[in-house]
Structure 1
Amino acid sequence: MEKGMLKLIDTVEAYCLDAMSTGVVLAWATEMFEKGFITKEHLNGIELKWGDSDTYEKAVEYIVEQPNDFYKDIAKGIYHASKIYGGEEFALTFGKNEMPGYHTGPGCHIGYAIGARHSHLCNAGYSLDRKMIVDGTKETPQSIVDSLMKEEKWRQILSSLNLCFFARGIYSMDVIKRGLKAVGLDFSDDEINNIGERVYAEKYSFKYREGFSFENRKWPQRIFDTKSLSTEFDKKFMENAITYAEKKIKELL
């Protein structure tokens, strides 16, 4: 199993695909096949089965080569494919992007939904969920959004400086200011925070200009059906978060 996983990762890398998106696409296709929504004909003669890494390698190859309409469709992502073949309730997408590999609670899912790139790298909602687990606290939709937006604004500073998010805890405001000062750039705390907020706002200005709308959102039912590690949440909780987030974002534009 371990060797099969490594081979599959290598195949995804060799084809320059995104591993998270590819994994979610293959999981969706597997469940579609198990439920009888698609057939071997759709899959170009293969049978997807959990743990069968050799077959998944072949499926990755077909996603790239696109030998039939089904593979052409899933190559566009499962938001697109589920509109054609069904299975929307377990098509795990946010902002038309496949869901990252965290199902830790409401923080991570709100983070995917409101992040400017709908990525787990936009903010760390999973960290908020972990905090709720460790501290035994509960967050409101509004408090989660406030925390996520504050962090995402700060991440604009980190990414603008080409800093690694894995090490983001090291780069405090003081460390950032000292580093900038070493190369002749003297900024105050407010000036740095304002830059991060401006970059964040520009990203959303671009999204809205290109047709983005929170009104087009659709929560995958699977996130509500599957128990998470932290507090329970429902669609009303998530909808309240999005309504609040949209208001706060538009105030910046």
Structure 2
Amino acid sequence: MLYGYMGKMLFVDLTTGAIEERELTKDITDKYIGGYGIGAKVLYEEMPKGADPLGPESILGFITGPANGSKAMFGGRYTLVCKSPVTGGWNDANSGGYFGPELKKAGFDAVFIKGISPTPVYLYVNEGKAELKDASAIWGMDAKETWEALKEATGQPKARVVAIGPSGEKMAYISCPINDGHRAPGRGGGGAVMGSKKLKAIVAYGTKETPVFSPEKVNAINRKVTAALKESPPAQGFGEYGTGVGTGASALNGDSPVKNWGGVGIVDYGEEAAGKVATPTFDKTYKTKKYACANCPMGCGAEYEVNDGRWPLGPTERPEYETLAAFGSTLLNSEMDSIFKCNEICNRYGLDTISAGMTVAWAMECYNEGVLSKEELDGIDLKWGDGAAIVALTQKIADCEGVGAVLANGSAYAAKHFGKGAEYLQTASGIELPMHDPKLAPGFARTYKFDPTPGRHVKGGLGLAQASGVPLGDKYDYRSTGFLDVTLTTGQEINNAAGFCLFLMFSGVQGAEAEYLEAITGNSFKSQDQMSTGLRILDLRHSFNLREGKRLADMTITDRAVGKPPQTAGPLAGVDIDVDRLSANFFAFAGWDPETGIPSKRSYENLGLDFVAKDFY
């Protein structure tokens, strides 16, 4: 019995229409867990080196983890994997909601798709069977309309859908699929890859149960976690007000970027503006219902009803922290109706809110510094903090219309297109930075720059621990960070691959993820198991980039994010991160060559990655 898994994967070739079922073996699950672990194994072995991210050889994967469907608390996240059209390298993004657990209930642990369909299609996975269906009638619909249309078309009102909107259909690089109407594996251009394949959606419905090694132990851990959450102030705050509970404070303490990462919150944004974008300020006015992802006892989401302001939306969703910061402090914007509107545009059209907001921020600074003209922005007077101008440009991006067709591919693409403005990019290897400043949590500088999926704040490492308030000593002492950075990184690799939400940490139950995995799978997950398995997953994702010809020198992060030059005012004044030292320390303990980034042959062999080693030795 393969506990924690359904034991089956789907492989779909959209060019031929062929659908193949393959066994998911215990050897693979033991070594790669799930999520982007299994995703990296499949893409490395089956996707040719140099494949066009938007071409027929490109493979797109939707992979669950053992936590999905196991009834473990916070076990609702699945992972999208692909080659990114933004970076040209490895890409993974994960999402909550209900799609991941539903895919397992439908009978499968993963779906991998290659090829290009001659006409729009959707994949219907229902009770252990899968078929491709015509999507011509829904091509052009937004993500929410698609969900409703496919529930009706399949006759399954409880079906879960992950779908692209019009931006993905037009292969915008910053597009993403949307599940449950507002949850998204947002980063890196997964929506563009889906659109290139003319795959409108995947529909999942099923009633199958995931086999669990010890349901009693899972229930016991659940009771321990839920009891601890009741005593956790962060859990109470996030449960009541969502991820935006501290957005205002973050804009002032240096966590949230301000004015395209070039400003200081207390100077350029101010306390009044910061207070307006904090969820507690407006939550009670608009909240109609609490929202929780699958098996989540905290529930950080909410449904809203917005009937006032310049853009009455009716039913909508509460913006997340990353969205509030990307369309708020980063643009010096505190006009909440405009942020609600931009959030709704992104949810319906299928846009990554981080990249969308940061691309607007790049254009805004270029405009205000005289680099881009009003004419080049299709007549939009893109002044700092102007909510109407922000909405107008975001809509153009979503429609891929006019200048929006350029900006829809992200800020780095736009700077290259216009041949100017590169000095105002805030990116890591070409993808827009997330909304947590490394100058406050310096470990993020290494993660943003050198994680195989650059520019991510939900990867492990010192940065995530520092941002979470874990007491680790002097965070600006870079002398001996390598061992702890690698240890924290590999531990988070396991959690992400297993399908756990990051917010399980708010329970304060030490080792809860490992306890859950032992109870779900029956396997041991002691500290050494986590280190070796996590490093195996990390090295395989990293090796995908190496095989594509990328080396450490090709991975970049923009100067502002790491304090070059240092800010002269505010809480982060004088901070200049030694990224080279942080990174060298990490490479030494990870076993990566400091020049090429290639792991040692011995490391590959010790991790059971001989099939990878042969490509480099």
Provide the TM-score with structure 2 as the length reference: 0.37
Counterpart of 1:71 in structure 2 is 404
Q: 1:234 aligns with which of 546, 552, 576?
A: 576
Per the TM alignment, residue 163 of structure 1 is displaced from its structure 2 partner at its CA by 0.5
- Larger radius of gyration between Structure 1 and Structure 2: 2
Counterpart of 1:31 in structure 2 is 365
Per the TM alignment, residue 49 of structure 1 is displaced from its structure 2 partner at its CA by 1.9
Change (3 A) 1:26 1:144: farther
Change (3 A) 1:161 1:218: closer
* Distance in 2, Cα, partners of 1:232 & 1:129: 19
* Distance in 1, Cα, partners of 2:584 & 2:515: 38
Alpha-carbon deviations, 1:49-70, whole Å to 9, x = none? 22222221221122233333x4
Counterpart of 1:48 in structure 2 is 382
Counterpart of 2:474 in structure 1 is 137
Per the TM alignment, residue 188 of structure 1 is displaced from its structure 2 partner at its CA by 4.5
Per the TM alignment, residue 126 of structure 1 is displaced from its structure 2 partner at its CA by 5.0
Say if 1:153 and 1:197, in contact at 8 Å, map to a contact too.
Answer: yes
Per the TM alignment, residue 144 of structure 1 is displaced from its structure 2 partner at its CA by 4.0
Say if 2:490 and 2:535, in contact at 8 Å, map to a contact too.
Answer: yes
Say if 1:37 and 1:85, in contact at 8 Å, map to a contact too.
Answer: no
Per the TM alignment, residue 16 of structure 1 is displaced from its structure 2 partner at its CA by 1.2
Q: 1:116 aligns with which of 436, 443, 452?
A: 452
* Distance in 2, Cα, partners of 1:178 & 1:129: 25
Say if 1:74 and 1:81, in contact at 8 Å, map to a contact too.
Answer: yes
- Is the aligned partner of 1:158 residue 2:499? no
Alpha-carbon deviations, 1:19-65, whole Å to 9, x = none? 11111111110010111111122111211122222221221122233
- Is the aligned partner of 1:96 residue 2:430? yes
Q: Secondary structure at the match of 2:486?
A: helix
Per the TM alignment, residue 153 of structure 1 is displaced from its structure 2 partner at its CA by 0.9
The unaligned stretches of length 5 or more in structure 2 are 1-334, 593-598, 605-617
Bigger shift: residues 34-43 or 142-151: 142-151
* Distance in 1, Cα, partners of 2:386 & 2:343: 13
* Distance in 1, Cα, partners of 2:521 & 2:472: 42
Percent same amino acid among aligned pairs?
Answer: 21
Q: Secondary structure at the match of 2:381?
A: coil
* Distance in 2, Cα, partners of 1:67 & 1:184: 49
Counterpart of 1:191 in structure 2 is 529
- Is the aligned partner of 1:182 residue 2:519? yes
Counterpart of 1:14 in structure 2 is 348
Q: Secondary structure at the match of 1:22?
A: helix
* Distance in 1, Cα, partners of 2:412 & 2:497: 30
Bigger shift: residues 36-45 or 102-111: 102-111
Q: 1:168 aligns with which of 505, 508, 525?
A: 505
One-letter code of the match for 2:392? K
Comparing both chains, which one has the higher relative contact order based on Cα–Cα distances under 8 Å and sequence gaps of 6 or more?
1
Alpha-carbon deviations, 1:132-190, whole Å to 9, x = none? 9x787244435445433322211121122211012235486743444334345131412
* Distance in 2, Cα, partners of 1:43 & 1:11: 19
Say if 1:32 and 1:38, in contact at 8 Å, map to a contact too.
Answer: yes
Q: Secondary structure at the match of 1:141?
A: coil
One-letter code of the match for 2:453? R
* Distance in 1, Cα, partners of 2:410 & 2:496: 26
* Distance in 1, Cα, partners of 2:532 & 2:404: 45
Provide the TM-score with structure 1 as the length reference: 0.83
Matched residue count: 250
Say if 1:105 and 1:230, in contact at 8 Å, map to a contact too.
Answer: no
Say if 1:106 and 1:129, in contact at 8 Å, map to a contact too.
Answer: no
Greater helix content = 1
The unaligned stretches of length 5 or more in structure 1 are none
* Distance in 2, Cα, partners of 1:72 & 1:244: 41
Say if 1:115 and 1:152, in contact at 8 Å, map to a contact too.
Answer: no
Bigger shift: residues 214-223 or 35-44: 214-223
One-letter code of the match for 1:208? L
- Is the aligned partner of 1:81 residue 2:414? yes
* Distance in 2, Cα, partners of 1:217 & 1:16: 27
Say if 1:105 and 1:232, in contact at 8 Å, map to a contact too.
Answer: no
